[in-house]
Chains A and B, each alone.
Chain A
Amino acid sequence: MRAPAPSRGPTGRFAAWRAQAAILAAMLSLLIGITAFLSLDVMRRVDRLAMAHSDNVQWTFASVMVELVDLENALLAAERDGLPLDEVRRRFDILHNRADIATNGAIYAEMIVRAGLAPEAAQVWGALAAAEPLIDGPDAALAAALPALRASLGELRAPFRAMALGGVQLLAVDADHQREKVVHLLVRLALVTTGLVVLLLGSLAILARLNRDMGRRTRALEMTSSRLCATVSSAIDAVVVADGEGRILDFNPAAEAIFGYRRDEVIGRRMDDMIVPDHIRPLLQAGMERFRETGELELFAGDRVEMEARRKTGEVFPAEISVSIADSESGKILVSFLRDISARKAAEAELLRARDDALAGEKAKANLLAVMSHEMRTPLNGMLGAMELMRDTPLDADQRNLLSIMEPSGRLLLHHVNDVLDIAHLDSGRASPETEVFDLDALLAETVAMHGSLAASGGNRLVLDPGQGLGHVAGDPRRLRQILVNLIGNALKFTCDGTVTVLAARPDGTDRVSIAVRDTGIGISPEDRAHIFDEFFTADPTYGRRAGGTGLGLAITARLVRLLGGEIAVDSTPGLGSVFTLCLPLAPRAAPVTLPEADPAADSPATTPLRILLVEDNRVNRRVARAMLERLGHCVTEATDGAEGVEMAFATAYDVILMDVSMPRLDGVEATRRIRLGGRSRNARIIALTAHAMPHEIEGFRRAGMDEIGFKPVSRRQLAALLGRTAPGCAAE
């Protein structure tokens, strides 16, 4: 455990307690040692007291005196009354024995030396030794020596008395000594007793402390337990506790509410049977099997798992489950927290549906816009064509003036419509870049030249700086042209009496080309720069309106650049000008061999009149086209739809068939295929006329048998170019 230093915490208290316990234990063992030592010592001493090492010394010395007197009496009695000498001899032996003990015994010999009584002892033994031959001798000699014997033995009273007194004195000293020993012993005994009492008190203190700690811990445990219990029972999530076999051990009130079971209905039952839906059961059983083997719960690895659970009613509902493993007395148990997330799931689904609806609405709007634009284009084409034709009719000055107002307005409208369609197309994801080899220098020059008159009208200079010359490249020339037109047009729009410069360069050794369009116009504020490529963005609404434009130009440009795999950036200083820089992948290529192409005279009537079948469902378009073709000197037959066109082409040989693509009954592509199958016009040159064909569509047109593709709105010049390549009479073959 890494607990911080303060000893207030439970860990600190525990450590302190442990240190105290260690000190106490050391003291106790020391005390036990001392007490044991003292006890042993006391026992040893008590043992020694229990054994007697001394004889009754006073008795022995007193006895010697008595025995001496008895002997003297016996001697006197024998001497005076002639009593048998055996009594004398017996008394002598008794005295002798007693003297022997009193002087030679282990204790007495030492005492005599200590008391300095050796001379007295020697005197005793001298007298006894002198008497012995007489005692052991014949009766007559003994009888004769009785008085002398009595006298000599009587002298022994003094040494015996001295010995007795010395003995008594020594004994007194010894007794004192002994008493002292007893006192010492008692002191030791008191010490031992004190030690024991201290030990007892120490043990008692430890026990009391342990008891208190235990009580505290028990209370803490009880509190934790009751807190846990309260937590589980008041939890919002269902808590289901199960053993390793999947049998439910506990089921909280939230679980009762979620599953619809009462606690007593599920306790002891298997989770599989009660709360697990049928389709999850095999999964759970396999998971539990692995859990019993490995102790790991792979099924619920990670924090939370979304799964399904089953209510008492059999209803299966989505649930978020988190499972943890805990230890219990009977092995590992699983504690599962389960949350009913059906409401959340429903909300999520609702949100998803709302988002889808919104996206669908957005798409529908875009579609509407595209369809509207598309549908607007056909009548516009008619108007523009009609105006073009009108110009060739005799008109007075007012009428001509009105026409010159109508024509640019119509073209601007067409431009807007095309912008919208471009955006829709580019956003559809169906657009893909084409790759062909083209002359980049020529494309730049053409595009710049195209804007010459527009520049001049704004008092601007338009300059092309192509650098060292870029030559032929591989790329999408149509879209590159569109990008340049947009950028140059944009630059000219916001520049007045200034210069617009187009720069192009290839960084050394790369497959990319940088093109910059720089103007000295009003510039763009930093805030506006962030939105400059957004659709329908015009920096200054009033100015924008004045300059004209949908605000789609730069949005389309940005999309086109992205489509071509390039990047576009803008830098600007308000009041000084802007520079748009693009970087496009345009790998250098060798120039293809081109055949010199005859430039047909655009406006002059055709040298050779052609028999032309015009297949077009729109009456206005038909009339415009017919008028243009007839001006070019051609002979025109009309068909109002594909079916009619096929019929007429079968019957008559035409040089050229101008085929509208989108027609009712039979469209242009199918009509072309049928015409090519047989009939008199099967070899005719078929030119498709389409408003907005995609490259892949063009591929389809060619496969169906179309030779050329012309784009609406058709102009007389375009028609002349398309028809110029056709030799008359070829269809007649």
Chain B
Amino acid sequence: MPAPVNLCFPAAWVALALSAPALWADPAPLPSPSGPVVLTVTGEIAVANDGAAAVFDMDMLRALPATTIRTTTIWTTGKLDLTGVPLDALLARLGVEGGRLTATAINDYAVEIPVSDAVPGGPIIAYLENGAEMPRRKRGPLWIVYPYDDSPAYRTDVIYSRSIWQLDRIDVAR
């Protein structure tokens, strides 16, 4: 059916035009991982190092800006110091400015996170718990956590469902 095709063409062009500034904003290419890949980002990203995907080993993540959240969680007891890459920093590194993320765990648990969640002082992709790497048997190696104690807005069912542990893939969609 020719009509949808005709319609799709201009839409693609518009999308490309809109994403152009992001492409130009951070053209720095990603290095290739030297250790085992812990995170794979696919979809609408501006930078890639493995075909269309951006793959990270632990060192690459540690090289990105890091921040530490001190908070309690409903899955653990007591306060935890959680250190990791702020989600907004990671997305900025990948030139992502909007849309939705689909984060998937090693057991194929998947959840959608709007890019609008990625704000400074917002969620991080934690790789250290109380200064130690997190083993796979305890929520590791990567865990998206929000600063739950900072705001009641971070203590809702939706936010809890987005707090995905044993994270290994993110797909970015417009």
Residues of A within 8 A of B (CB): 47, 50-56, 63, 67, 70, 90, 93-94, 96-97, 100-101, 104-107, 109
Contacts and interface: CB of A to CB of B under 8 A. Distances in A.
Contacts of B160: 52, 55-56
30 contacts: A50-B152, A50-B156, A51-B155, A52-B157, A52-B160, A54-B74, A55-B74, A55-B75, A56-B157, A56-B160, A56-B161, A67-B107, A70-B107, A90-B106, A90-B136, A93-B106, A94-B107, A94-B136, A94-B166, A96-B137, A97-B137, A100-B138, A101-B139, A105-B76, A105-B77, A106-B72, A106-B75, A106-B77, A107-B75, A109-B77
Contacts of B73: 106
Nearest to B155: A51
Interface residues of B, number: 22
B40 to A, nearest CB: 16
A93 B74 contact: no
Interface string B105-133: 01101000000000000000000000000
Contact of B137 (A50, A100, A107): A100
B146 interface: no
A100 B165 CA distance: 13
Interface of chain B, main secondary structure: loop
Nearest to B165: A97
A51 B152 CA distance: 6
Given A52-B156, A101-B139, A105-B76, 6 more contacts: A55-B74, A70-B107, A93-B106, A97-B138, A105-B77, A107-B75
Contacts of A100: 137-138
A3 B40 CA distance: 94
Contacts of A52: 155-157, 160
A94 B137 CA distance: 6
A650 B106 CA distance: 183
A204 to B, nearest CB: 37
A94 B106 contact: yes
Nearest to B73: A106
A97 B75 contact: no
Nearest to A51: B155
Nearest to A94: B107
B152 to A, nearest CB: 5
Contacts of A94: 106-107, 136, 166
A93 B136 contact: yes
Nearest to A91: B107
A104 B77 contact: yes
B76 to A, nearest CB: 6
A104 B74 CA distance: 10
Interface centre among B106, B107, B136, B156 (most CB of A within 10 A): B107
Contact of B74 (A47, A70, A97, A105): A105
B174 to A, nearest CB: 29
Nearest to A93: B136
Interface string B130-169: 0000011111000000000000100111001100011000
A93 B157 CA distance: 25
Interface string B62-77: 0000000000111111
A163 to B, nearest CB: 16
A724 B76 CA distance: 169
B167 to A, nearest CB: 12
Contacts of A93: 106, 135-137
Contacts of B74: 53-55, 105-107
A176 to B, nearest CB: 19
A97 B138 CA distance: 5
Contacts of A101: 75, 139
Contacts of A104: 76-77
Q: Which 6 pairs show the lowest CB-CB distances between chains A and B?
A: A93-B136, A96-B137, A52-B157, A105-B75, A51-B155, A94-B107
Nearest to A47: B152
Contacts of A63: 109
Contacts of A56: 157, 160-161
Nearest to B72: A106
B75 A51 contact: no
A323 B73 CA distance: 89
Contacts of B161: 56
Contacts of A67: 107
Contacts of B136: 90, 93-94, 97
A90 B152 CA distance: 35
A474 to B, nearest CB: 127
A106 B77 CA distance: 5
A109 B76 CA distance: 9
A119 to B, nearest CB: 21
Contacts of B156: 50-52
Nearest to B157: A52
Nearest to A110: B77
A149 to B, nearest CB: 16
Contacts of B109: 63
A55 B157 CA distance: 7
B136 to A, nearest CB: 4
A104 B152 CA distance: 24
A195 to B, nearest CB: 27
B72 to A, nearest CB: 8
A20 B157 CA distance: 53
